[in-house]
Structure 1
Amino acid sequence: MSTHQALLDEGWRVLHDETFIGHIGSVYTRPAEGCAELAILTLPVHRNMSGAVHGGILMSLFDRAMGRHVRDLHPGERFATGSMTVEFLRRVDVGDVIRIRPIVTKDGRRAVFMRGEAYVEERMVGAASATFLAIH
C-alpha cells in the first residue's frame, strides 16, 4: 500500500490549494480535537544540502496550520503572522510524513497566540509559537 493511500485510509484528505502551500507538495488535512491538522509526505525535492528535510518546509506547514486555525476561530476577519519562532528538535528524513497540530494559547480580539507541534509518527520533531495580528 502506498503512503498516500495509507494517509487516506487514516482519514486524511488532500488539501487542494492554489496558494503557496499548494506548491510544496501534496498537503493533507484532517479534523482533530478542536482543530484541523496538516500533514505532508516529504519528497527528495524537500531536502537540504545535508540530505535532511529543509527546515523551511516545517516552517511553512506551521504557519499554514496555525494561520488556518486562527481563520477558523475568526471567520470573516483577516489576520497575518506577526511573529513566529520555530524549534527544530529532531532530524526529518525524506520519506517521512510530517504532521502539524495547531494549539491556541490565547485568543484575543486583536491578536491570537498559537503553538504548533510537529510529529513524525509519535516522535515530536519540532515546535513553534506564533502571534497572529488582526488586520483592519
Structure 2
Amino acid sequence: MLTDLPWIPIEDDGFIGLIGPVLYKPFVDGVGRFRFTAEEKHRNRAGFVQGGMLMSFADRALGNTARERHPERAQTTVQFDIHFIRAARLGEVVEMECHILKETRSLVFMEGRITTEDELVATVKGIWKIIERRDPPGN
C-alpha cells in the first residue's frame, strides 16, 4: 500500500541540501511524491513559507519525477508556472504530488499540486528539456 512506503531523504550537497531536507516516496505508477517540513529557515518577512522555497521545492520534485524512468538523463527546466492558492505556515508538512502529462523525444510536460494537510497551497506546471549528452571534442 502506498501509505506504507517510507519517506526517503533526497541526497544533495548543493542547493537542495541547503534548503532541505526534502523527502520522497518510491515512485508508484510514475507518480512522484515529495515533502518537507516548513522550518524557520523557510520563513518570509510575513512569517509564512517563502514563495521561492515552494518554487524550488516544486522545481526539484517535478524534475525528479521527469527523470524517474531515465535516471542517467540530463535535463533542464525550460518553463515553470506556479499559482499560489494559500500561504504555507511554519511547522506544516508541505507535500507535492507530480505527474508526467506527456513525454516526447526532447520535452517532458509536467504538473503537480502542493498541499498541506490536504489543503491546496499551489498548482504547478512545467516543461523540461531533455539534453543530449555529447562527448567533448577530441574524445
TM-score class, shorter-chain normalisation, is 0.7 to 0.9
Question: In the alignment, which residue of structure 2 is the partner of 1:107?
Answer: 103
Question: In the alignment, which residue of structure 1 is the partner of 2:13?
Answer: 18
**Structure 1 residue ranges, 4+ long, deviating more than 3 angstroms after superposition:** none
Which whole-Å deviations, capped at 9, do the CAs of 1:42-98 have from their partners, x for residues lacking one? 111111111110011110111111101111133432110001000111111111110
Overall identity of the aligned pairs, in %: 32
Counterpart of 2:68 in 1: which secondary structure?
helix
Q: Does 1:127 align with 2:123?
A: yes
Instruction: Return 5+ residue gaps in structure 2 as ranges.
Output: 133-139
Question: In the alignment, which residue of structure 1 is the partner of 2:50?
Answer: 54
Provide the aligned length of Structure 1 versus Structure 2: 128
Question: In the alignment, which residue of structure 1 is the partner of 2:75?
Answer: 79
Deviation at 1:41, TM superposition (A): 0.5
Larger radius of gyration: 2
CA contact (8 A) 2:77 2:127 kept: yes
Distance 1:113 1:44 in 2: 33
Distance 2:77 2:110 in 1: 10
Counterpart residue type for residue 37 of structure 1: R
Deviation at 1:20, TM superposition (A): 1.2
Q: Does 1:66 align with 2:62?
A: yes
User: 2:34 is matched with which residue: 32, 35, 38?
Assistant: 38
Counterpart residue type for residue 101 of structure 1: E
Question: In the alignment, which residue of structure 2 is the partner of 1:6?
Answer: none
Counterpart of 1:64 in 2: which secondary structure?
helix
Deviation at 1:32, TM superposition (A): 5.1
Greater helix share, 1 or 2? 1
For the aligned residue pairs, the C-alpha RMSD in angstroms reads 1.6
Counterpart of 1:73 in 2: which secondary structure?
coil
Counterpart residue type for residue 49 of structure 2: V
Counterpart residue type for residue 99 of structure 1: E
Deviation at 1:26, TM superposition (A): 1.7
Q: TM-score, normalised by structure 1?
A: 0.86
